[in-house]
Amino acid sequence: MLLYRSAAWFAKGLREYTKSGYESASKDFVPDDLEVQVPGRAFMVTGGNSGIGKATAMEIAKRGGTVHLVCRDHSRAEGAKAEIIRESGNQNIFLHIVDLSLPKSVWKFVENFKQEHTLNVLINNAGCMVNKRELTEDGLEKNFATNTLGVYVLTTALIPVLEKEHDPRVITVSSGGMLVQKLNTDDPQSERTAFDGTMVYAQNKRQQVVLTERWARAHPAIHFSCMHPGWVDTPGHHPDGPHINLCAGRVCAPRSPPESSIWVRVRSAICGPQVTGPRLGFSEAADWASVSRGRAGEGPEPTDTRPPRVV
């Protein structure tokens, strides 16, 4: 079944997650949707020092939003902050150095953050794909600690902060790779199975979508979304695994006009909830209702082309 899922998903990816997929999906983009200004709204972008995280932060900064960059590497983060300020002319860019793989550090960061700042939108962008099993100082498998537990602790801790503001939103960058994995609640840290970094990453992305569904049910005042940015060649890592090297020339750069992989993210973050689109495909952002209909714990088979509600 895994082989079938992987093959069907890869075929789907070649059709929908590449440059050609972007070109097809972009026919439904409405450029005027992004012609807005958002002064007075605060956005947190994890992993905002490179790739599509930085591109997203840049677009928000250009529209006047206050941006909080949550990054692990201080020197790279300082460089990204300086570049965003220089290009956007926006001085309201704040830097926070946090290792998302350390739950206690994440919680402490939020406790300090909420004493000084407000927040309208959280964008869970940061992630990692470690191909050899590695434990954090807390004894947690690093992919799970960063991609799942870190996202859970950060989002859960920030929910009370978000609920105080107008039109709060949480956008989590998942991956179409989740379609090759059913939710595995028996071995979340890959302790009893052969370790495969790509499949562990896919499982983490499945876990993120399930968490999003649960948060949305429990906190209806906040608009929760998950999205897949397509196959994007970024400096940090290749999010869908080694196969991306086989698709050289087909993948998208972090910014492909009109900002292909950040269009839905920025649109979902700064505008109304509805983003039109023909399918759950390139730059997809499914609300929790779509996730629910798609069986969040198992997900639709990769060949399932029923059009869910896209927001």
Domains of the chain with CATH codes:
2-293 (3.40.50.720)
Q: How confident is the model at residue 9 (pLDDT cuts 50, 70, 90)?
A: low
- In angstroms, how far is CA 127 from the centroid of its own chain? 8
Pick 260 or 13 by higher pLDDT: 13
Residues 49-75 as b or e (16 or more Cβ within 10 Å = b): bbbbbbbbbbbbbbbbbbbbbbbbeee
For position 294, what pLDDT does the model report? 37
Q: Please state the rounded mean pLDDT for residues 209-224.
A: 95
Distance CA 3, CA 278 (A): 28
Phi, psi of 3 (to 5 degrees): -60, -45
Pick 188 or 260 by higher pLDDT: 188
Q: How confident is the model at residue 7 (pLDDT cuts 50, 70, 90)?
A: low
Number of other CB atoms surrounding residue 154 within 10 Å: 25
Cα dist from 256 to 52, 60, 271, 280, whole Å: 10, 16, 21, 19
Number of other CB atoms surrounding residue 277 within 10 Å: 22
List the catalytic residues. Answer: 201
Pick 175 or 149 by higher pLDDT: 149
Q: How confident is the model at residue 307 (pLDDT cuts 50, 70, 90)?
A: very low
pLDDT over 70 at 242, yes or no: no
Distance CA 246, CA 119 (A): 40
Residues 6+ apart with CB under 8 A from 42: 65, 66, 67, 68, 117, 118, 119, 120, 121, 165
Q: Which of 71-85, 228-242, 252-266 ranks highest by mean pLDDT?
A: 71-85
| 295 touches 86 (CB < 8 A) | no
pLDDT in tens, 102-157: 999 999 999 999 999 999 999 999 999 999 999 999 999 999 999 999 999 999 99
Q: Counting runs of H as helices and runs of E as strands, what totals does the chain give?
A: 10, 7
Q: Which residues pair with 227 in a beta bridge?
A: 173, 285
| 147 touches 197 (CB < 8 A) | no
Q: Which residues pair with 97 in a beta bridge?
A: 71
Cα dist from 261 to 55, 84, 140, whole Å: 9, 18, 31
* Cα torsion angle, 109, 110, 111, 115, sign: positive
For position 240, what pLDDT does the model report? 44
Share the mean pLDDT of the chain.
78
Enter the pTM of the model. 0.78
Distance CA 236, CA 128 (A): 8
